Amino acid sequence: MQTMLNLHHTFVKNPKGKNIGVFIPLSDYQKVLNLMDDYQDIVAFDKAIKHKNDVIPFRDAIKQLEKKSK
């Protein structure tokens, strides 16, 4: 697992020289997207673990879903 993400970037400046954006190579952008996906998976896992004891019978779940759809 990679512990540090080194991004190669170039600042985008307006005509007055103020930084208004950042350019990163596509390969770095893909790394960022992959890290974001990993992070979302971790958050979902943590949420599932937090609610692991919130098990309800299947029939009760169906009833709850039917009530919500009305």
3-class DSSP state of 21: strand
- Print burial letters for 18-34: b (CB count within 10 Å at least 16), e (below 16): eeeeeeeeeeeeebeee
Q: What is the pLDDT of residue 12?
A: 97
Check: pTM over 0.75? Answer yes or no. no
pLDDT tens per residue across all 70 residues of the chain: 555 788 899 999 999 999 999 999 999 999 999 999 999 989 888 887 877 667 778 898 888 888 887 7
Q: What is the pLDDT of residue 33?
A: 93
Residue 26, sorted as left (phi over 0), alpha (psi -120 to 50) or beta, turns out to be alpha
